Structure 1
Amino acid sequence: MKWGEKMVEKHANQNRWWIFTAVVLLSFMSTLTSSIVNIALPVMSRAMDVPTSQITWVASSYLIVTCMFLLPFGKMGDLFGKARVFKIGTVIFTIASLLCGFNLGFGWILLMRAVQAIGASMTLSTNAGIITETFSKQQRGLALGSFGSVVALGSIAGPGLGGLILTYLPWNYIFWVNVPVGLVAIVLGQLVLSKNEVKSKGNVDFIGMLILIITAASLFVGLILGQQVGFSSFTFVGLMIATLILLVAFRHIEMRAENPVMNFPLFHNSDFSLSLLATVLVYGINFVVNIIEPIYLEQNRLISTDLAGLILISFPIIQIVVSPFAGWLSDKFGSHVIAAISLAMLIISQVGLASVNHATSLIVLCIWLGFVGLGNGLFQAPTNVLVMNAVAKDQLGIASGLLGFSRNTGMTLGSIFANILLFGGISMNLGRPVNDYPVAQPGAFIFGMRFTFIVTTAVLAALFIAQVIVNWHRQNR
């Protein structure tokens, strides 16, 4: 081991849980701010005198810009130090959060949300890499599992915390809530994050980074516009074709680059590739559940919003509780075993949700949602460990960026396919195109919901079989 690596390891051992706290604080806020703003959009629309169709870009712009820069900043972390990129990101994110709260017009808020997203992408692309570098293999599952549970809390706490803030304070505080937490993270980061980091060598591949940023922008702008103007529109089709062309060009350039942004041979590792694919699919299916179940409870079962909220918050809470325990199990029994069990739990959850109808007991529904939370809680730690353990120390940044990119891609695709599958199933049942809840024929909704969860079951079953085959080949090599 080189002297620099020994210094990093010594520093990490002395401060590892303080380092964990600094990383988790900003990761929590970066995730929270993507969900907390949604509940404030109607209020902001009135305050800025902006139509609803336009104010949604306050949320969408954050998602798009974050995804654009996740992988480039992951590579920058490998080249110049993950802690350095993370610390700069905390400063940018905190300042932009402060500026987002000043009502200087719609253009101003969009610009500041983009700057905030750049700061967030700097933290989200390096967080898992810093934690992996900080903790030994014997503790890595526990650390990454605990990290996953806190980040998950950020994604589910947004609507509740946002509603509480809006009850007593103006919408500006939706953004200003980040500032004190950001300041704590900045100070803590300066005190505990290592200045002697393991770095990769080579020049910055500016051309590759630029093409990657444009490709991500084309993909996510296309997906979001597709939901608004239709997936058969010229805009959507054109952007998807552009994305494919850019991907081909990016691979061609990267295979010949001296120090490529994306090291494509990494994908030859089956653990790495399959775990990233699993992350996309599982996060996507989570969003399918998050979108369909509120409709089922509130419009099909006519359950009050507050009771529906209590029912739906049960499975994320289970996930948060289970994730650190799953990390310990991964350390003890191996990530492959726990990852396979997590997929089995998720398959059971989808089979159960596919059996739900008008008369299903709410207790039974909560049991199936509990399996969703259990499966997700078991999934996070082993999958993160498999991805991060598959790369060398000088590739941890790009691996961390890919994990973040996979999560965001999954959530975006899940929100799209939830509507495609649900209303496709409803349309099949009614024999005509439908794009809204069929109030006069609630049975058609049940058919569409069941159709959706049968498809998600099939997807997870195929993923489980692929994982079993890969593990069998790995053990018998």
Structure 2
Amino acid sequence: MDNQLKNNRWGVFTAVVLLSFMSTLTSSIVNIALPVMAHSLSISTARINWVASSYLIVTCMLLLPFGKLGDLYGKVKLFKWGTLIFTLASLLCGVNLGFGWILLMRAIQAIGASMTLSTNAGIITETFPKAERGLALGSFGSVVAFGGIAGPGLGGLILAYLPWNYIFWVNVPVGLVAIILGQLVLSADKPIEKRPLDWPGMLSLIMTAGSLFVGLVLGQEMGFTNPIFVSLGFLTVLSMIGLISIERRMDNPVFDFRLFHNPDFSFGLLATVIVYGINFAVNIIEPLYLEANRGVRTDLAGLILISFPIIQIVISPFAGWLSDRLGSHMIAGVSLVTLLIGQLGLATVSSSTSLVVLCGWLGIVGLGNGLFQAPTNVLVMNAVGQNQLGVASGLLGFARNTGMTFGAIFANILLFSGISSYLGQTTRNYPNHHPAAFIFGMRLTFLTTAAVLAGLLIIQLVNRRRQELMR
């Protein structure tokens, strides 16, 4: 990355963050519009859900391939093209030419999003010196997280006054600003050594990610014993075996498994999957607790639940600043301890717990999340060379989406396993006449997530101790 970018680094940051914000926003804003869209298009709820699922699947399939393409042909070039594709597809998503058209445009929108999401952290890492990298990546994580939080509220406001088409069109003006700003501040990539593209590895990687996420989506809809889910799981395993076999023979693999020899890199990605999964479990269980178990109004429940991500947004840049000064390992360890305390606290909640106490525990979870983002991203991005920043950025995005997907699955499995155990019979519904059964399932879930975090903390401490002994 040239000196012009580094001298104008906060302008670069703004251009990159704008599109990253919109890519995250569009994931959450669409969900609230799905019932309205289903009615408008006269289709079932099961079919309209694919408007959201298709975006997730295509994005996850292409994050790593586009990360590698950014390393080979230029991250800035790929980011600019992604911005253009995402903005144009957002415009066309709002043109109602039928369900098939919307699915196609959502897939193209996801292509543009994956081009930006696979290069954003790499561009920021190249642009900012190490002394400011934690602050930059922490601020970046904060703004992107805000996209996920703002989606439902902004979507509800739009639907109150405008047709559902504007759910997609809201991206267009921001996209145009990002395109113009990108042209002004993002100069062309420096000449990059052209190396042959690993097409067999690229196709194997796409097939592995595609079968994994299509299987997970269908598994949640049809059940995890359904033959289709089992077949896709088998295909995922075969594709992964083929990918490993291919990449070991390649001089310039799309997915270089040697990156995982670096303990910081491996830990950072593992921690990202686990923490995002646990956060999603909180997002699934707490609304049920507040609205079904405690009878809290929906608007009040929303205000309570938004408290912990807001704390995360405020804390994340500060955590990045601390990471720059005290070291990423220390702040990452503190974040895991904080998250562990928060999960144990949520495991003590009952049907009579004060909502103020609940907000306190959720606040601790938000604090832990805010402390977690920046140091973990820095550990991953600093662990690779300049020619692997795109792959690392893509892997971070892939880890986040994988964590959220698995978090949703295992939260439901643990919650309803606990409820079923308490009732002595299998159930998949909220136990209206046995609120204590729900509390039992909720506590089982949060005690399990606390145990997982404790294991992750031990791994982090052992990893850090080994590094100190090797110096």
State the TM bucket, normalised to the shorter chain. Answer: over 0.9
How far does residue 190 in structure 1 lie from its aligned partner after superposition? 1.1
Deviations 1:448-472 (A, max 9, x none): 0000001000000000001000101
Deviations 1:169-214 (A, max 9, x none): 1100000000000001011111111213363541111111111111
Distance 2:15 2:356 in 1: 39
User: Which amino acid counterpart does residue 204 of structure 1 have in structure 2?
Assistant: L
Specify the alignment match of 2:14 in structure 1. Answer: 21
Give, as a single letter, the amino acid of the residue that structure 2 aligns with 1:174.
Answer: I
Write the letter of the residue equivalent to 1:246.
S
Distance 1:81-1:119 versus aligned 2 partners, 3 A rule: same
Q: Which residue of 2 aligns with 1:103?
A: 96
User: SS at the partner of 2:182?
Assistant: helix
> Structure 2: how far apart are the matches of 1:403 and 1:433?
37
> Which of 188, 192, 195 is 2:188 aligned to?
195
**Paired letter, 1:143:** A
Partner of 1:359: 352
Find the counterpart in structure 1 of residue 64 from structure 2. Answer: 71
Alignment partners' CA distance in 1, 2:2 and 2:308: 37
Separation (CA, whole Å) in 2 of partners of 1:198 and 1:451:
54
The residue aligned with 1:3 is none
The answer as to whether partners of 1:343 and 1:375 remain within 8 angstroms in 2 is yes
Q: How does 1:8-87 map to 2 (within 5 A)?
A: 8-87=1-80
Q: Deviations over 1:254-289 (max 9, x none)?
A: 110121101111000000001100000000000000
TM alignment of 1:268-287, pairs within 5 A: 268-287=261-280
For structure 1, the 5+ residue unaligned runs are: 1-7
Given that 1:198 and 1:393 are in contact with CA atoms closer than 8 Å, whether structure 2 keeps it comes out as no
- 1:223 and 2:216 are equivalent in the alignment: yes
TM-score w.r.t. structure 1 length?
0.98
- Could you give the per-residue CA deviations for residues 406-440 of structure 1, whole angstroms, max 9, x where no partner exists? 00000111111111010011011111101000001
Alignment of 1:174-189 (within 5 A): 174-189=167-182
Pick aligned residue for 2:165 from 164, 172, 184: 172
Does residue 311 (structure 1) correspond to residue 311 (structure 2)? The answer is no
* Alignment partner of 1:348 is 2:328: no
Residue 151 (str. 1) matches residue 141 (str. 2)? no
Give the whole-Å Cα distance in 2 for the aligned partners of 1:64 and 1:145: 26
Preserved contact between residue 32 and residue 157 of structure 1 (Cα < 8 Å): yes
Question: Does the 8 A contact of 2:77 with 2:189 survive in 1?
Answer: no
Instruction: Spell out, residue by residue over 1:79-131, the C-alpha distance to the aligned partner (whole angstroms, 9 max, x if none).
Output: 00000000000000000000000110000000000000000000000000000
2:437 counterpart residue number: 444
Contact 1:283 1:414 in 2 (8 A): yes
Total equivalences in the alignment:
470
Q: Does 1:476 align with 2:466?
A: no
Say if 2:124 is the partner of 1:124.
no
In the alignment, residue 419 of structure 1 is paired with which amino acid?
N
Between 320-329 and 249-258, report the one with greater CA deviation: 249-258
C-alpha distance in 2, partners of 1:42/1:196? 44
Distance 1:350 1:47 in 2: 41
Q: CA deviation at 1:133?
A: 0.2
Letter of the structure 2 residue corresponding to residue 339 of structure 1: A
Tell me the equivalent position of 1:163: 156
- What is the distance in 2 between the residues matched to 1:90 and 1:350? 38
Residue 336 of structure 1 pairs with residue 329 of structure 2:
yes
2:226 counterpart letter in structure 1: S
Q: Which residues of structure 2 form unaligned runs of 5+? A: none
Matching residue within 436, 454, 466 for 1:461 = 454
**Is the 1:276–1:406 Cα contact (8 Å) retained in structure 2?**
yes
Identity of aligned residues (%): 70
Task: Indicate which of 296, 300, 304 corresponds to 2:289.
Answer: 296
Tell me the amino acid that sits aligned with residue 86 of structure 2. F
**Paired AA for residue 107 in structure 1:** G
Q: 1:288 to 1:165 in 2, by over 3 A?
A: same
User: Corresponding residue for 1:395?
Assistant: 388
Task: Report the AA paired with residue 298 of structure 1.
Answer: E
Please say if residues 76 and 189 of structure 2, whose CA atoms lie closer than 8 Å, have aligned partners that are also in contact. Answer: no
More off after superposition, 237-246 vs 54-63: 237-246
Do the aligned residues in 2 keep the contact of 1:129 with 1:399 (CA within 8 Å)?
A: yes
> Which digits, 9 at most, give the CA deviation of each residue in 1:290-323, with x for residues without a partner?
0000000000000000000000000000000000
- Change beyond 3 A, Cα 1:200–1:393: farther
TM-score (norm 2): 0.99
The answer as to whether partners of 2:134 and 2:323 remain within 8 angstroms in 1 is: yes
Aligned mates of 1:356, 1:374 — CA distance in 2: 19
CA RMSD of aligned residues (A): 0.7
User: CA–CA distance in 1 between the matches of 2:97 and 2:336?
Assistant: 47
Deviations 1:343-392 (A, max 9, x none): 00000000000000011010110010001100000000000000000000
Q: Displacement of 1:232 after TM fit?
A: 1.1
Residue 84 of structure 2 corresponds to residue 91 of structure 1: yes
Partner of 1:141: 134
Deviation digits for residues 125-145 of structure 1, max 9, x if unmatched?
A: 000000000000000000000
Query: 1:5 corresponds to which residue?
Result: none
- What is the distance in 2 between the residues matched to 1:13 and 1:126? 16
Segment of structure 1 superposing worse, 234-243 or 82-91: 234-243
Structure 1 match to 2:206: 213
